[in-house]
Amino acid sequence: MRSFAYVVPDSVAGAVDALAAAEPGTKILAGGTTLYDLMKLGVEAPPAVIDIHRLAELTEISTGEGELSFGAGAKMAEVADHPVVRRDYPALSESLWRAASQQLRNMATVGGNLLQRTRCGYFRGGAEFGCNKRDPGSGCAALEGLDRTHALLGASDACIATYPGDWAVALIAFDAELDVVGPRGERTLPLGDLHVEPGDNPVLEHTLAADELILRIRVPATPAGRGSTYHKIRDRESYAFALTSAAAAVTLDAQGTVTDCRIGLGGVATRPWRATAAERSLLGEQLTMGTARHAGEVAFADARPVRTGAFRVELGIRTVTDALLTAGKQAAR
Amino acid sequence: MMKTSPTAGRPAGLVETAFTVNGEQVRFELDPRESLLDVLRERLVLTGTKKGCDQGHCGACTVHIDGRRVVSCLTPAVQVAGRDVTTIEGVAAPDGTLHPLQQAFVDCDALQCGYCTPGQVMSGLACLAEGHTETDGDIREYMSGNLCRCGAYIGITAAIRRVADQTKQTEV
């Protein structure tokens, strides 16, 4: 690991100042479960890290009227087990506790998790493999290599790396927003505007400026929260990344007609993926196996199968189908 | 006030870090690259905590920080300044009497080679403390971060179940 300067600010304002004054490439360290791991592998080599994990002002959670708010420094385990989140937004809770292990969830923060980097083996594998995300212009070894878990949606000729997270997939379905802070002050952006597709520049993964820091995640209150689930299909039952996953939330009227529908896709795309056309296909319909399956087919209509993971298109359709039916049962509670 | 390394008067980049391990105060000049796992094993010679994958996959290095389980391989040691670390060496009584969960591992055949066992015990203690033991399914879900390549999972689940049930009886 390359040596680095270790900076410990005692406030968010101090962190912003430190980041503004820092050498290019300086990274924010919170839980460390992605950054420190990639530094050990030599994939990340920041000249300095700014450790924000002790900043209590970043750890507040509130579930009052109108919205949920999660400080960026709150731990995944804490939000997953929050009684209001479990009861009123099961998809959010499940997206967290179905991710990683309890040890990692005790370390990782809900802000850092949004920017978790891809698990593509060629990205993590280091210089012997071409990777346009790690080393621009070196090619993409996954295109001709082991692509079983790579992206079916949003990929480019330069990069087919899958966005690995679950939490952002659930959040995007609920129109979450982020408050971020930098030297120019605070601003708010929809979570849907945070991540970008790789295009011809896979190095660029998000729209935060180098001197900005996530303060909190806010989720507008919605009755669709109660009728929601996060369905995650893995090679083993627990502690694995998604082969396919779906966050689904529905609201049904007294006749069982779908009046609101949200669908996020995980494990299958280069970024957290909102399936808006699939959502629209269900509005005004009864939620049945047939309409749910149709929504799944719409969600994957533009999928470009990878060579050794083509089965994940059909698996993804079935994942959406099952998630919607589970969400419908939740909504009828 | 901001603490920055390198700090005047010390070798470049070292960070003075004090914390407790199993109740004993320790203090080191740490390179910020050092993992808690390496500090425990190499500096303190507390080799009960095992290095399996060193990448956060296997759970063999599980310890508690302020009572919560973490993987020490992905914890930069400088981050535990002021914290209380508990390792497997801090679990049995001072006279060597095993903790009930350690005894349950013995009684339930919850190990074969034993390499993952310290991590399993630390994780199991936390699983019990968190209350994620309502069903065997809960135990399996909340113990999934600890791999056992010998495949002693049935015994491990039984050991945690036994202690959870004992605790419940005591409370009743």
In chain A, domain spans = 1-55, 56-115+163-220, 224-328
CATH topology of domain A1-55: 3.30.43
Beta bridge partners of B24: B21
Tell me if A328 sits within 8 A of A250, measured CB to CB.
Answer: yes
Domain A224-328 CATH (choose: 3.30.300.30, 3.40.190.10, 3.30.390.50, 3.40.50.620): 3.30.390.50
Beta bridge partners of B25: B20
Confidence at residue A333, expressed as pLDDT on a 0 to 100 scale: 79
Q: What is the mean pLDDT of residues A300-323?
A: 97
Tell me if A203 sits within 8 A of A279, measured CB to CB.
Answer: no
HEC states along A71-118? ECCCEHHHHHCCHHHHHHCHHHHHHHHCCCCHHHHHHCEHHHHHCCCC
Q: Which domains does chain B have, with CATH numbers?
A: 15-90 (3.10.20.30), 100-171 (1.10.150.120)
Q: What ipTM does this complex have?
A: 0.96
Q: pLDDT per residue over A52-80, tens digit each?
A: 999 999 999 999 889 999 999 999 999 99
Mean pLDDT over all residues of chain A? Answer: 97
What crossing angle do the helices spanning B100-107 and B117-130 adopt, rounded to 10°?
A: 120
Tell me if A178 sits within 8 A of A282, measured CB to CB.
Answer: no
Please tell me the distance in Å from A121's CA to the nearest CA on chain B: 13
Confidence at residue B94, expressed as pLDDT on a 0 to 100 scale: 94
Q: Which residues contact B29 (CB under 8 A, 6 or more apart)?
A: B10, B11, B14, B15, B16, B17
A294 has pLDDT over 80: yes
Tell me if B33 sits within 8 A of B73, measured CB to CB.
Answer: no
Beta bridge partners of A263: A248
Confidence at residue B170, expressed as pLDDT on a 0 to 100 scale: 78
Please tell me the distance in Å from A153's CA to the nearest CA on chain B: 27
Tell me if B85 sits within 8 A of B75, measured CB to CB.
Answer: no
Q: Which residues contact B116 (CB under 8 A, 6 or more apart)?
A: B50, B52, B58, B59, B60, B146, B147, B148, B149, B150
Confidence at A99, pLDDT banded by 50, 70, 90: very high
Q: What is the mean pLDDT of residues B97-109?
A: 98
A260 has pLDDT over 80: yes
Q: What is the mean pLDDT of residues B14-38?
A: 98
Confidence at residue B143, expressed as pLDDT on a 0 to 100 scale: 98
Confidence at A159, pLDDT banded by 50, 70, 90: very high
Confidence at residue B146, expressed as pLDDT on a 0 to 100 scale: 98
Tokens of B12: 């470049």
| Residues of chain A above pLDDT 70, percent | 100
Cα A305 to Cα A53: distance, rounded to the nearest angstrom: 40
Cα A74 to Cα A130: distance, rounded to the nearest angstrom: 36
Range in A57-61, A316-320, B5-9, B130-134 with the lowest mean pLDDT? B5-9
| Residues of chain A above pLDDT 90, percent | 99
Confidence at residue A165, expressed as pLDDT on a 0 to 100 scale: 98
From the number of C-beta atoms within 10 Å of its C-beta (0-12, 13-18, 19+), residue B123 rates as buried
Q: Which residues contact B89 (CB under 8 A, 6 or more apart)?
A: B22, B46, B48
Confidence at B172, pLDDT banded by 50, 70, 90: low
Interface of A to B at Cβ within 8 Å reads 1, 3-10, 14, 18, 29, 32-33, 36-37, 39-41, 49, 51, 53, 77, 97, 100-104, 106-107, 237-239
Q: Which of A195, A218, A21, A213 is nearest to A118 (CA)?
A: A195
From chain B, pick out residues whose CB is under 8 angstroms from the CB of A238: 140-141, 144
Mean pLDDT over all residues of chain B? Answer: 94
Q: What is the mean pLDDT of residues B65-93?
A: 98
What is the DSSP secondary structure assignment for residue A190, as one 8-state letter? E
Confidence at B169, pLDDT banded by 50, 70, 90: confident
What is the model's pTM?
Answer: 0.96
CA angle B158, B160, B164 (to 5 degrees): 115
Longest Cα–Cα distance of chain B, Å, equals 58
Give CA A275 to chain center in angstroms. Answer: 14
Q: pLDDT per residue over A108-128, tens digit each?
A: 999 999 999 999 999 999 999
Number of residues in chain A: 333
Q: Which of A210, A189, A195 is nearest to A50 (CA)?
A: A210
Cα A50 to Cα A9: distance, rounded to the nearest angstrom: 7
Q: pLDDT per residue over A28-39, tens digit each?
A: 999 999 999 999
Confidence at residue A37, expressed as pLDDT on a 0 to 100 scale: 98
Confidence at residue A64, expressed as pLDDT on a 0 to 100 scale: 86
A304 has pLDDT over 50: yes
A156 has pLDDT over 90: yes
Task: Tell whether B133 lies on the interface with A, counting CB pairs under 8 A.
Answer: no
Q: pLDDT per residue over B153-162, tens digit each?
A: 999 999 999 9
Confidence at residue B9, expressed as pLDDT on a 0 to 100 scale: 45
Nearest CB neighbour to B145, from listed A5, A53, A239 = A239
Residue located via tokens 């303060």: A215
Give CA A117 to chain center in angstroms. Answer: 10
Please report, for residues A61, A102, A125, A193, A294, the alpha-carbon distance to residue A178 in angstroms, rounded to integers and kept in the order given.
Answer: 14, 25, 32, 10, 32
B8 has pLDDT over 60: no
From the number of C-beta atoms within 10 Å of its C-beta (0-12, 13-18, 19+), residue A132 rates as buried
Confidence at residue A8, expressed as pLDDT on a 0 to 100 scale: 97
Q: pLDDT per residue over B50-65, tens digit each?
A: 999 999 999 999 999 9
Cα A238 to Cα A101: distance, rounded to the nearest angstrom: 8
Confidence at residue A240, expressed as pLDDT on a 0 to 100 scale: 97
Give the DSSP H/E element, type plus range, for residue A61: strand A61-62
Tokens of B55: 């990448």
Beta bridge partners of B17: B28
Confidence at residue A48, expressed as pLDDT on a 0 to 100 scale: 97
Contact check, Cβ <8 Å, B5/A5: yes
Nearest CB neighbour to B78, from listed A6, A9, A10 = A6
CATH topology of domain A56-115+163-220: 3.30.465
Cα A331 to Cα A329: distance, rounded to the nearest angstrom: 5
Confidence at residue B12, expressed as pLDDT on a 0 to 100 scale: 63
Q: pLDDT per residue over A180-223, tens digit each?
A: 999 999 999 999 999 999 999 999 999 999 999 999 999 999 99
Give alpha helix (H) positions in chain B. 36-38, 100-107, 117-130, 136-142, 153-171
Q: What is the mean pLDDT of residues A161-165?
A: 98
Confidence at residue B11, expressed as pLDDT on a 0 to 100 scale: 55
Give the DSSP H/E element, type plus range, for residue A296: helix A289-299
More confident residue, A116 or B12: A116
A8 to chain B: nearest residue by CA? B3
